[in-house]
Structure 1
Amino acid sequence: MNRMFSPSTDPGPAAMALPVPVRACVPLAGHAPRVSCGQAVTKGQLVAEALEPGLGDAHAPVAGKVDQVDKWSVCVVAQGEARAEPVDLAALEGGTLRAALRSLGVDIAPLAITNTLVINGLNPEPGVTSTELLLRDFAPTLQAGLDLARRVMGASVCVLALRQGMAASLAGCDTRSVPAVYPRTLDPLVIKAVTGKENPEGVAALSVHELFCLGQVAESGLPCDRTVLTVGECNFLVVVGTPVSEVLAAAELDARDGDRVVLDGLFRGFTARSLGQGVDKGVYGLSVVPAGAHAPVTDAPCMECGRCVRICPSRVDPGLLSGCAEFGLLKQAVDNYIDACMECGLCAYVCPTHRPVLQYIRLAKQQLREVAESV
């Protein structure tokens, strides 16, 4: 088995809890800031409003004073322990509950009404063990998240998908062992492994990290303010907004000039803009890619070798889709099934010209969402 695609199976010791950062920078993406520099905020207070319908709002993970606001982040210098008033979710149902969750920072787009809910309990990418650690050490919070998810989604059937040989459970869920070789760990392929069907109606999936976020909201009535992420051989429990530099220091890693710091996994992740960038909720991994470790990304034209087509689990043509994105041909991208792309990153991994294939596809998807919202 190719080690690059092999699952990581040992989460190791308990996650190390990092201290509350002195200065927390809340990442923004599709948000409009609702605070200004010098303003005092409480923990859990709204700092930026989501502009997309399925996206959750952003909140201060610490009490203190805002010292920076831009399109990328809202930064708060920690001062005091004041908290926002919790929301009583138990008294809410239906659309009111969904609206409350969105106002508490939950991305509600994945919480669609469904009959069958699949909990993806597999580590999402090679080198990441945070999913299995959450299942092992944070079961009560995950259970609270599952109970809340089923209330919102109306799911009558629940299946917890685990890699073969792993023992874990959540009340109200059947368990199913599924292949854990990447990219079979991604939601669409986990659903297929559980149901035997591609894109079956009435079936939705949530990741364990999404349950962890929901569980925190369910337990506290306040926004999710922590995530668990894998760095090297260790896992860390991190307050949202903790600068990347502080996580690297805790893991005793250095990022030098020319290195890239990648949040999430190496196939699907994204490069941090700076070491001061804060960790967002749901981030499950962090890696340092040394300068020169890989050939640089280029804007060379597609040479139509077909490698991306042969490896694509969605059976689309990533090279064609990346070209559509590059030249703004959005209708052609839709006609060639861009929505079927599950963003596994294998296309960019095998591309001999080192085109940013996945990034082009993500760009086109974002542009299509913007067009749909403007209509």
Structure 2
Amino acid sequence: MWTLSNNKSWEHLVQSFDWVRDMALTPQDPLHHAEGDVATHTRMVLEAMCAESQYQQLSAQEQEILWAAALLHDVEKRSTTVTEPDGRISSPGHARKGAQTARQLLYGDIPTPFAIRQQVTALVRYHGFSLWALERPDPVKELVKVSQEADTRLLALLARADVLGRICADKDEMLYRIGCFEALCQEQQCWGVARPFATPHARMHYLLHENAHPDYVPFEQPVSEVILMSGLPGAGKDTFIRRHYPDLPVVSLDGLREEMGVSPTDATGNGQVIQAAKERARVFLRKGTRFVWNATNVTRQMRMQLLELFFTYKAQVRIVYVEVPYRQLFRQNSSREAVVPAPVLEKLAAKLEVPAAWEAHEVTWIAADPAF
């Protein structure tokens, strides 16, 4: 069974991890956290969570996942905390950045099975969602997306511990909000599961259109298919394409760079490469030709730019994410014909955002788990 740390004493965690030590150096706003710094709060959250009967009823592995998420949930308050001119303290964006840090730690430093890493990362990313879900412009659509990434049962448990593990005046109100979140999850059929849809096309129609109903099944069907590859250099994307799509045309950024004589470090030239690649893709999309887009696509922003293009042409999109364990990645990269310098590969790994199930009609994760 995977565990972030077999020894869960705070003293051991402080000695073992610099990011735990940083918690004691990170202040919080007394209005919402009268208990003090992030270390004090995190310890209280862990204690409150372990005391919950619902936590005790989880499987041993689920307990470890939730415990790791609780330990990491405020890890990046250390880098995002600011003191406003009026003396108030805030940490804007700490959940998003914390998810990135959790992913890095559980990929490079603490070898973690892919599915477990994904769940811990999602819990860190959305740990505050249940408190504010009903205030979102479209709470149901936001919930549908979150349910595709995080187990909402564990998310509610983490949020409850986050509230119980602090000293504040509005604790009862926040616990009430979590109760409303649980009711919304049950109403929308996503309590502990991803919200079901009749077809992948129905799901994407709902996510891409305003005022759409989640149970609506569109009559119009996609006119073509695009396979969008995603993964770090050296992960095995080219091998996967040769094995599974040997007869399909491929729009490859690496191939176009070689064809156009552009260096990977040439920013202007790479912009021209991307435009040339998009134009080739448009030719296939207009003809309704099935094809593969092969590039790293390791950030959501990069993928969304492409997905918007593909969806404009009414294409069905399958994202294939390929991953190997961290050390194996660097070995495979060093044996490639076009080796990516190790510092560049490390930076790409730090920016990695694994595709979520809601991004496309189908998302396939091909991930070899590390030994642990």
Q: Tell me if TM exceeds 0.5.
A: no
TM-score by length of 2: 0.27
Structure whose alpha-carbon radius of gyration is higher: 2
More strand per residue: 1
> When you count helix as a share of all residues, which structure comes out higher?
2
